[in-house]
Structure 1
Amino acid sequence: MTKQNTAPVLFLNAQKARLSGKLISLKEKMLLNVSYNNPEVTRKINNEVGKPFTLRERIKMKGIGSSKLFITSTSIEIHNLLILDSYVNTCNIEMRPSGIIVGFRSLLESYALIIPYYKLRLYKGKAEEYSIYRDHYFIKIRAKANDKATHKFIKKVMDYKAENLPLGPEDL
């Protein structure tokens, strides 16, 4: 018979662990309810994607927000929020210095998917659809061929991402 390891085993709840008296999340949740002015949520967003652009920067960039975007498909966590009401599912995107915020509403609550540029994956899947990914979250939005504003904004996001991401270890 082999001797089994008798070292103490640390059992962790899949979502949370208690460390030095503070409750911390093991899987950082970046799908946030932003309906209320909560300093903790604001701090989390600012740490992840940076503080909002100044008015001067917004004017220089010719806008940092998208028009109304129609959602065609989502990951299960977002889908579970969107099916709570019977309205047309729409979202908008806000650019930040280090990422984007995809905002949408369900019932009377506002939600935001926080995506830093280094985790942002943006694909043009079908002919009239863009897919926005962050880890296991995704949102697919409709972009008709004649919807120039959406195509222009997505290009602006991709160009800004390319300009502001470090290329390699020497850039850090």
Structure 2
Amino acid sequence: MLLNVSYKNFKVTERINNEVGKPFNLWDRLRLKGTGSPRLLITSASLHIRNLLLLDNSPNNCNIELRPKGIIIRFRSLLETYALIIPYYKLSLYKGNSTEYSIHRDHYFIKVESKTNEIHEFMRKILKKRSDSSSHLFDS
């Protein structure tokens, strides 16, 4: 789901927390060695996201936040901040060529450029968290 998160709205915050969980606490963030990605350059996006990005002339950057049950991709357009909320069970992550990742949820997608090793490590962290969360579904 794509949401405008520019303003503090408790209903939007509650929807995000229900979808991907509350933010990690300080101890978990230290244990995970960070829950936020470096700045990522958006190379391509789905139609709805691309239309938002075309509204201004600034570089199209985003960042990714890890949550217990998913990820949040945040980007800015004009003076607004938007978030693409992706729970792990709807997340599809593809590595295109050696410098590009494609992140999908339903009919939304964002392709980001990955020129540093930090980005590759962060994407591996996302895949590990996704596999850990799916393994908990089968524990009973």
* TM-score > 0.5, shorter chain as reference: yes
Q: Partner of 1:171 in structure 2?
A: 139
Q: Structure 1: which 4+ aligned runs deviate by more than 6 Å?
A: none
What is the CA-CA distance between 1:165 and the residue it aligns to?
1.0
- Give the gaps of 5 or more residues in structure 1: 1-29
1:64-103 alignment runs, 5 A limit? 64-103=35-74
2:97 & 2:107 partners in 1: Cα distance? 20
Partner of 2:22, secondary structure, is: coil
TM-score when normalising by structure 2: 0.96
Q: Partner of 2:90 in structure 1?
A: 119
Structure 1 counterpart of 2:95, one-letter code? K
- Give the gaps of 5 or more residues in structure 2: none
Partner of 1:171, secondary structure, is: coil
Query: Which protein has the larger Cα radius of gyration, Structure 1 or Structure 2?
Result: 1
1:23-34 alignment runs, 5 A limit? 30-34=1-5
1:59-114: per-residue Cα shift (whole Å, max 9, x none)?
Answer: 11110000000000000010010000001100000000000000000000000000
2:135 & 2:34 partners in 1: Cα distance? 24
2:43 & 2:136 partners in 1: Cα distance? 33
Q: Partner of 1:104 in structure 2?
A: 75
2:85 & 2:132 partners in 1: Cα distance? 20
Structure 2 counterpart of 1:164, one-letter code? S
State whether structure 2 residue 118 is matched by structure 1 residue 149. yes
What is the CA-CA distance between 1:160 and the residue it aligns to?
1.1
Q: Partner of 2:108 in structure 1?
A: 137
Question: Which structure shows the higher helix fraction?
Answer: 2
TM-score when normalising by structure 1: 0.79
Structure 2 counterpart of 1:122, one-letter code? L
Structure 2 counterpart of 1:68, one-letter code? R
1:87 & 1:110 partners in 2: Cα distance? 13
What is the CA-CA distance between 1:166 and the residue it aligns to?
3.5
State whether structure 2 residue 127 is matched by structure 1 residue 158. yes
Structure 1 counterpart of 2:117, one-letter code? K
2:33 & 2:2 partners in 1: Cα distance? 27
What is the CA-CA distance between 1:132 and the residue it aligns to?
0.1
2:102 & 2:92 partners in 1: Cα distance? 8
Structure 2 counterpart of 1:39, one-letter code? F
Structure 2 counterpart of 1:95, one-letter code? L
Structure 2 counterpart of 1:96, one-letter code? R
1:155 & 1:72 partners in 2: Cα distance? 20
- Cα RMSD for the two superposed structures: 1.2
